[in-house]
A and B are shown apart, each in its own frame.
Chain A
Amino acid sequence: MLEVIYALWRRDMIKFLRDRRGLVTSLVRPFLWLVAFGFGLRPSVRLPVPGVDFVSFLVPGLATMTVLFSSMFAAISIVWEREFGFLKELLVAPTPRGAIVVAKLAAGSATATIEAGLMLALSPLLGARFSVVGAIASLPLLAVFGMAVNALGIVVAARMKSFEGFGSVVNFVIQPIFFLSGALYLTNGLPHALHAVVLLNPMFYVVDAMRGLCLGMNRFPIVLDVAVVLAAAIAFGMLARRAFNKMEV
C-alpha cells in the first residue's frame, strides 16, 4: 500500500523534475510581484515593525502564493489523466482509490513546496532579509497548505469535463483566496466585514505563521496558525477523497 503511494508520488515527481522549463516559469510569478509590487510600493508603505523592509515583508506571502497557484494547478493532472485515459488504468488496478488521492496530494504539495523553497532561496538576491531558520521551518507548513489546496483542486477537477472549465473555475477560487489572505498587506486595518472574511481563509494563517517564523511579526500564536492549516488540510482531503470516489471515468 505504502509502496503504491510512493510509486504514484514518484511518478508525478519524475514528471515535475523532467519539466525544467515549468520549474523556471513557476518562479516568474512571485518574482514579478516582488519586483513590481515590492519595489513599486516600498517608498509609500511604512510598516509598524521597525527594521522590516516592504520587500522582505512580502516574501512569506508570495512564497505562500507560489504554493497556492502551483498546488492548485497540479490538480489539473486529474482532468488530464481522465481525458487521456491513464486514470482508468489506475482505477482498474487493485489499488484503493484513497491511495491514489493521498499520492496526488503528496505530489502536488511536494512540487509546490519545492517551488516555494526555490523562491525563498532566491529572494535575498533582491535584497529581502528574513530568518533563514524560520524560512526552513516554514516549509513543512507550506507543504501541509499545499495538500489542502491540492485537495480543493481535486474537488474542482473531479467535476470538470475540460481543461478550460478547470482553468476558469480555479481562477475564480484562487484569486479571492490570494487577495483576501493578507499576503500583500497587514490585515489589522481592514473593515470589519472584510476582516471576518480574511479570518475564514486558511491561507491567512499560513502567511501569519510564516511572517512569525521569518520576520517575528505574527498576529496569532504560531501553534494556532498551524492547527487551523492542519484542520483545513484534513477537511479538504476528506472532501477530495469523496469527490474522487464519485468521479466517473
Chain B
Amino acid sequence: MTAVIEVEDLTKKYGEVEAVRGIGFSVGAGEIFGFLGPNGAGKTTTIKILCTLLQPTSGHARLAGLDVTTSPDDVRRRIGVIFQDPALDDRLTAEENLMLHAVAYRVPRPERAARIAEALRFVDLHERGRDLARTFSGGMKRRLEIARGLIHRPEILFLDEPTTGLDPQTRARTWEVLRALRRDFGTTLFLTTHYMDEAENCDRIAVIDHGKIVALDTPAALKQRVGKDLVTARSADPAALARLLSEKYGITSTPADDGLSFLVEEGDAFIVKLLTDDRPALAGISVRRPTLDDVFLSLTGRQIREEGAEGQFARLRAIARRRG
C-alpha cells in the first residue's frame, strides 16, 4: 500500500505551549485512519496543519507526495476537509453551497451539475437540493458537508470530529456514507475523534495525548494490548471476596458499586473457576472485553472526557441566541 500521508517529526508551538510535540506516522491509500484523543490533545492542530490552514513550527508533512508548506495550493486541490463546526453558508441552498465549492475547486463547468446531483444522492439529500441549508437538521448539515467534500473527488478526506453532537442514529448513518465513500471512490479518510466507538470504525488508530502519539495500531491490536478483561462482582461481603482474590489468585481489586471489580486474563474462564471456589455469596457477576476506553486509560492513566465538546456547544448556542 502506498503512503498518501507522510508525517515526520511534526511540531507546532503556540508561543510557549507545544500543541503538537514531534509526531510521525504514515497513512496508506484507501485507509481509514483515526486520531483518537481527548480535547486539547493536538488533534485539530494536526489536521489544520495537514490541510494547510496552519504552518508547522518544525517537521514535515507530505500529502500525495506534496509538502503542505511549500505547495499548499496543490495540496488543497487534492484534499477535502469537513470541519468540526459546520462550515456551510446556511443562507444559501444546498445546491448553491455545492456549486460554490465546485467553482472554487475548479471542477470543469460541464461536469458540475452532474457531480452535484451525484453527491446529493450519495448522502440521500437529493430531494432537498433547493432548500436553504439553514432549514436542515444537524445530521443533514453534516451529510451536506460530506457531499460537498465529494464534489471535487479528493484523494484524501479530512474529518475533524465528524459526528460530534449528532444523535446515535445519525452517527451510524454518517458512518455508512463514509464507508461507502471509501468503497466507491477509494478515498483515504483521516479523522479525529474522542468517541471510542467511532474509533472502532478505523483501520488504524493513533492514540494522541498531550501532543504525542502514545500508540498506533489497529483497534483490535490495541485492545489486545490491554489483554485483560474487566470483571465486576456484586457481593454482600466484598472485603472477604477481595481477600480471596488477592490470597488465592494474586489479583488486586478495586471497590465498585455493591462489590468490586478487577482485571484478569480470560475473564469468562476465571468466572467459572471462581464460582466453583469456596467463596462468599455473590449477587451477580459480569465480564467485559476491553474497549478502547480501557486502552486509553491504560496508556495515559486517564479517561477521555467530553467536557470540552460540551463547552463548545454552549459557545455556539450563545452565538445563536445573540444572532436570533
83-108 of chain A: CB within 8 A of chain B: 83-95
Least distance between A128 CB and chain B CB atoms (Å): 34
**Does B105 contact A93, Cβ atoms closer than 8 Å?**
yes
Q: Using A88-B53, A91-B53, A92-B52 as known contacts, say yes or no to A18 and B87 having CB atoms under 8 A apart.
A: no
Residues of B within 8 A of A7 (CB): 99-100, 103-104
**Candidates B51, B83, B101, B322; contact of A85 at CB < 8 Å:** B83
Stretch of B90-98, B220-228, B271-279 on the interface side: B90-98
Docked CA distance A226–B126 (Å): 50
Docked CA distance A63–B319 (Å): 33
209-255 of chain B: CB within 8 A of chain A: none
Stretch of A8-16, A183-191, A194-202, A209-217 on the interface side: A8-16
**Does A84 contact B90, Cβ atoms closer than 8 Å?**
yes
**Does A11 contact B96, Cβ atoms closer than 8 Å?**
yes
Docked CA distance A7–B106 (Å): 11
**Candidates B83, B87, B106, B323; contact of A94 at CB < 8 Å:** B106
**Candidates A4, A83, A90, A94; contact of B77 at CB < 8 Å:** A94
Residues of B within 8 A of A8 (CB): 100, 104
- Interface on B for A, CB 8 Å cutoff? 51-53, 73-74, 76-77, 79, 81, 83, 85-92, 96, 99-101, 103-106, 148, 319, 322-323
160-187 of chain A: CB within 8 A of chain B: 163-164
**Does B319 contact A11, Cβ atoms closer than 8 Å?**
no
Q: Using A14-B96, A94-B73, A94-B77 as known contacts, say yes or no to A86 and B87 having CB atoms under 8 A apart.
A: yes
Residues of B within 8 A of A90 (CB): 104
Name 19 extra pairs, CB < 8 A, besides A7-B104, A15-B92: A4-B103, A8-B104, A11-B96, A11-B100, A14-B96, A18-B91, A81-B89, A84-B85, A84-B90, A85-B85, A88-B53, A89-B88, A90-B104, A91-B53, A92-B76, A93-B101, A94-B76, A95-B104, A163-B323
Q: Using A83-B319, A94-B73 as known contacts, say yes or no to A89 and B101 having CB atoms under 8 A apart.
A: yes
User: Can you spell out 29 A-B residue pairs with CB atoms less than 8 angstroms apart?
Assistant: A4-B103, A7-B104, A8-B100, A8-B104, A11-B89, A11-B92, A11-B96, A11-B100, A84-B87, A85-B83, A85-B87, A88-B53, A88-B83, A88-B87, A89-B83, A89-B87, A89-B88, A90-B104, A92-B52, A92-B76, A92-B79, A92-B81, A93-B104, A93-B105, A94-B76, A94-B77, A94-B105, A95-B104, A163-B323
Nearest residue, chain B, Cβ from A11: B100
Docked CA distance A10–B99 (Å): 11
**Does B86 contact A14, Cβ atoms closer than 8 Å?**
no
Docked CA distance A84–B322 (Å): 13
**Does B76 contact A93, Cβ atoms closer than 8 Å?**
yes
Nearest residue, chain A, Cβ from B76: A94
Q: How many A-B residue pairs have CB under 8 A?
A: 69
64-120 of chain A: CB within 8 A of chain B: 81, 83-95
Docked CA distance A8–B89 (Å): 11
Residues of B within 8 A of A85 (CB): 83, 85-88
Docked CA distance A25–B218 (Å): 59
Going nearest first, the 5 A-B pairs with the smallest beta carbon separation are A85-B87, A7-B103, A94-B76, A93-B104, A89-B87
**Does A92 contact B96, Cβ atoms closer than 8 Å?**
no
Least distance between B316 CB and chain A CB atoms (Å): 9
Residues of B within 8 A of A87 (CB): 87
Q: Tell yes or no: A193 within 8 A of B by CB.
A: no
Docked CA distance A191–B85 (Å): 54
Q: Tell yes or no: A32 within 8 A of B by CB.
A: no
Q: Using A11-B92, A92-B76 as known contacts, say yes or no to A3 and B103 having CB atoms under 8 A apart.
A: yes
Q: Tell yes or no: A223 within 8 A of B by CB.
A: no
Docked CA distance A15–B88 (Å): 14
Q: Tell yes or no: A36 within 8 A of B by CB.
A: no
Q: Tell yes or no: A133 within 8 A of B by CB.
A: no
Docked CA distance A3–B86 (Å): 25
Q: Tell yes or no: A249 within 8 A of B by CB.
A: yes
Nearest residue, chain A, Cβ from B91: A15
Residues of B within 8 A of A11 (CB): 89, 92, 96, 100
Docked CA distance A3–B102 (Å): 11
Docked CA distance A95–B73 (Å): 8
Docked CA distance A163–B99 (Å): 28
Residues of A within 8 A of B148 (CB): 89
Residues of A within 8 A of B77 (CB): 94
Docked CA distance A249–B83 (Å): 12
Nearest residue, chain A, Cβ from B80: A92
Docked CA distance A235–B254 (Å): 70
**Does A84 contact B96, Cβ atoms closer than 8 Å?**
no
